[in-house]
Structure 1
Amino acid sequence: MSLQTKNTRTTVLILMVLAAIAMRLVNTQVPALSNFTPVGAVALFGGAYFTDKWKAYLVPLVALFASDVIINYIYAGKFTFYSSSLVMYVCFMLMVFVGTFIKKVNVLHVAAASLVSVLIHWLIMDLPFLYGQPNTWANYTTLLVKAIYPFETNMLLSDAIYGAILFGGFELAKSKYTVLQGKRQLAL
């Protein structure tokens, strides 16, 4: 793959990630859309398509961080880093890692990766110590049950919708513009 082709492909991938993350800013204004964000789909997309692994992790995380800064400024008037923020970033790094296992884009593979990503988020982000509660199975179970609706349900739906847009859109673009096709079709 020539340098110009690689740069064009990377630019398109980055623009798609930024466009999707911009939707996160819109969704924060509607309480019913809590956790209905493109972040999980973006993490999977980055893991699947960026051939340079450092870009696969860096681009989605920088986009997430930038949107966090904007969202915090809107709500708090300043950037606030919560005690659970670092854990959330680790969850999304794990989601990027899951995306690296998508070797062939089809509905089944993307849906399975989305489900695994939501499970990662659900099981990690509802650990009691993140909310100042004692680490007991009762507290953990209570938090897991409370998170099912609307938070994790919305995340699963948003991964499906944004995943279809990102993966489907890029696959369609690749079929029309050969410059977007990599030497390897997906990150291996």
Structure 2
Amino acid sequence: MTDQQQASEDAVMTRIGQAVMLLHAGDRAEARDRLADLWTEIGHDGDPLHRCTLAHYMADAQDEPEAELAWDLRALTAAEGLGDGRLARHEPALVVRAFYPSLHLNLAADYLKLRRPDAARSHLDRARAATDALGDDGYGDGVRAAIERLELRLRGEEGRPYSP
């Protein structure tokens, strides 16, 4: 990869990050517009890291659960095409399998919103099974805690009492 290609890829991640800052600041519409423009530039067959990252955050910018699910599914599909080598060029300490707990957790939450508890349970089980890839750090602890919270919500939706 040439230095120019690397700089171009970094620019895409920077632009995604700028849109995410807007999202976190509460400007969902502007974030959604910027991410949509970037998605058009990247394309359905673009760099899997860009597609995964963008789709993950685009899901968070959606107002409708069906649209959120569609973007979270795109993020999962992109992650499945992402190799550790490509990820290492962006962040050497990351491995793709560390993405899966969060990706499946998001899908479980989407399916729960859509009142599809069986699909929610399936993805929650996948999220939990993938947690061995998470570090013992704030991010890993946060994802594990979110899995536990969603487990409690799902059990409540299913009408079953919680039993650890």
TM-score calculated relative to the size of structure 2: 0.32
Higher relative contact order (CA 8 A, sep 6+): 1
